[in-house]
Structure 1
């Protein structure tokens, strides 16, 4: 020890019985003493030195140093400067969450901004975002559950605002079961919470329970009225929707664009032209701006009520149109037998740079079918996948079979069915059966009937069509056979119904 002190020139005072302190990094790090009762470690010891230091190790390890027993703790720990405590991380969004934000479904993005870091009891962000495109509703629902669980962990479970927000969140993602469970835990829900529950029940199709909750509400704002009105329209109960609209006007509730769109949809479902025209005049008299949504609803209402001129007048007066506006106009022309006009409007749509979707092609193919434009319809069908990258649906195949069948090209229709890459559904065989009735082809009608009953054995329309085919060919034995078949299967013809509008009322 004295020799070492002389070499150092006395610059650094040493303790008499202290071990010499080597330069940092010359010796391997000596671990603290282990508990003798602990089990022995397996495997060779590891040195925390780079290879170039290991080559110099024999010259650095002098005998006086090796004879000194290592104290506890090691000298390196005693001379190492204390590191400052880590600074808290700023409250910013982690980078993985930012990278995953564009890949998330649109409804999931607000939830993704607040989702906590993944833990053992929660699914990770990568797992959720990986299945977001395959199962968007499931992914958004899981994200909502993660946000709700984070509120529980932070002690906000009993907060009324948090509970109301959870109900609104689950209602927005369409998780009716979670809405019911969360709403049942609230002792005294406010108007916002009840309105969210009402909207979730209406969106889920349980309009009867929603109406009971609506009638028990002490205060109703326009959001609650619109939620109930939209629920009736969504399930097809248009008569009750129009009745609720009358009650809404008597209550003096303000009528906005969302209300008028729901009323126009109900009028389109029922064919209530006078009520729809009243809504149109209401928009004009109030000086309301015809937005894309409202204009599309007007085009759809006039088209389904058979007033194509008014539908196209509204369409031409719109300063802004989206794909739904174009599709509504195309469907209106097709359903009213104006196939050539439908095809011209479709070409105009392509020239405007609007990209069609699957519903658009259904409307165009129906227009070609009613007008007998076989080659144009075939070219439109081929352009779906080649030009517009739209995979054909079963509805498109059914329209093509109907197109060939109406034109009398039954062989082409059969060949088209045999070349389908998917299994034909009831719409395809129904179109072939209808074509067989038009052109009085008994054998082909029997074949289509056989295929159709294998898919849906109690299809009353198919049995009636085959019976009509036999009757038109004066095959009364075949008619009797089909009727006996219907009796044995318990198939009953559903009677048709119609309604007329008189003095603004449907009778």
Structure 2
């Protein structure tokens, strides 16, 4: 067998070819050369081959090369594979690689676990996380802050905020990522009060927030109607000269609108240098909930004038704005344009539900019932429910009984609808 010195020029040549690789065919040819010359165990070559394979979506082909041809691949190779697969959101393979490491007595290190936990976070696999958590403790890697932060993220993603908080409280050092994961976890669990308490404690601990922290804190402020905290965050952003990029700016606009501060929200919207369809959707939805339907429709038209294409969420938001403000004719006009294909897509069941709700609330029961019969979807419980409510409000006994019967058919174990309609 040739020595490393003899193989070194060949390894360097292959690495150079991988860096210049222009097609998937080249990857397969290089793979053949690696097998032919038994170069699998070289960690530097393995790293470059895995990276090149990932660039051409051929990552799966690297698995047998390193895990079948090598009985005990170096831990660096295993870590590189786990990291690569975690980045392409193939959540089950990293854990399989980890199990193979265990069977082959390849000792993981502190670089193994962050990306392994990331993959378990992506697939919300709480049980496997518990198993790996036990391994981390046994191997003595729990004091590594990167491992701790990734473990926090898994528990938060799986909704186990009690365990997330336990890990957080046991950490001797916490950085901005630690605090942000905790705040994000509470926010996603809709525990907005604890999210804001954690944000306050982070501030008192002297940890400087980043943009991700602020986006999640603003989200909690909006949902909890914590306008004072939201204004403080806005002031912090201004004092520190942060640009309102699309994500942070949209979060700020949404916070103000959810808290009923329409003018401040629109001012923040206008100050944004860059906007996307999500930003416009937030504005239209916020104005709709504030029962400023005319203004929501105005911004909807402005959105189109500025060259932004409305999506399905936009149309649902503007129709909801029409509902909250009783803009029946405007709703009819927008829905007609949607039916005619003016927005590049067909109405979904949600759009039909909005239009039926709008007509029903306005007392246009016959028109609403006609739309229910003609829609290309089976009416849902929410559609029949809103129709029944409108029929009762208008005192239409015949249509009330029909709607109650349809609801009873959809929910056969609940006869309340029919009884209450009599």
Please give the TM-score of this superposition, normalised by the length of structure 2: 0.74
* 1:288-367 correspondence to structure 2 within 5 Å: 288-367=242-321
Residue aligned with 1:205, SS: coil
Q: Of Structure 1 and Structure 2, which has the larger fraction of its residues in helix?
A: 2
CA contact (8 A) 1:112 1:143 kept: no
Residue aligned with 2:274, SS: coil
Match of 1:181 among 110, 131, 140: 131
* CA offsets 1:351-392 (integer angstroms, 9 cap, x no match): 222222222111011122233333432343344462333343
Match of 1:399 among 354, 358, 361: 354
Q: Go from structure 1 to structure 2 and tell me whether the alpha carbon gap of 1:442 and 1:325 turns closer, same or farther (over 3 Å shift).
A: same
| 1:162 corresponds to | 112
Q: Go from structure 1 to structure 2 and tell me whether the alpha carbon gap of 1:214 and 1:318 turns closer, same or farther (over 3 Å shift).
A: same
Residue aligned with 2:159, SS: coil
C-alpha displacement at 1:321, in angstroms? 0.6
* CA offsets 1:117-167 (integer angstroms, 9 cap, x no match): 465999xxxxxxxxxxxxxx9972245456657877997552331233322
Q: Go from structure 1 to structure 2 and tell me whether the alpha carbon gap of 1:113 and 1:373 turns closer, same or farther (over 3 Å shift).
A: same
| 1:198 corresponds to | 152
CA contact (8 A) 1:157 1:163 kept: no
Aligned length: 360
Match of 2:344 among 370, 382, 389: 389
* CA offsets 1:433-474 (integer angstroms, 9 cap, x no match): 2322332323323332333344447889x86x985xx7xxxx
Between the aligned partners of 1:466 and 1:253, the Cα distance in structure 2 is 59
Between the aligned partners of 2:25 and 2:167, the Cα distance in structure 1 is 42
Is 1:280 matched up with 2:237?
no
Q: Go from structure 1 to structure 2 and tell me whether the alpha carbon gap of 1:270 and 1:348 turns closer, same or farther (over 3 Å shift).
A: same
Name the larger-Rg structure: 1
Residue aligned with 1:312, SS: helix
Match of 1:253 among 188, 207, 220: 207
| 1:140 corresponds to | 90
Between the aligned partners of 1:109 and 1:246, the Cα distance in structure 2 is 41
Please give the TM-score of this superposition, normalised by the length of structure 1: 0.62
Is 1:90 matched up with 2:14?
yes
Unaligned runs of 5+ in 2: 1-9, 29-52, 68-86
| 1:14 corresponds to | none
CA contact (8 A) 2:225 2:258 kept: yes
* CA offsets 1:1-26 (integer angstroms, 9 cap, x no match): xxxxxxxxxxxxxxxxxxxxxxxxxx
Between the aligned partners of 1:218 and 1:373, the Cα distance in structure 2 is 57
C-alpha displacement at 1:176, in angstroms? 4.2
Match of 2:364 among 380, 384, 409: 409
CA contact (8 A) 2:24 2:58 kept: no
Residue aligned with 1:185, SS: helix
Q: Go from structure 1 to structure 2 and tell me whether the alpha carbon gap of 1:147 and 1:319 turns closer, same or farther (over 3 Å shift).
A: farther
CA contact (8 A) 2:114 2:151 kept: no
CA contact (8 A) 2:246 2:279 kept: yes
C-alpha displacement at 1:302, in angstroms? 1.5
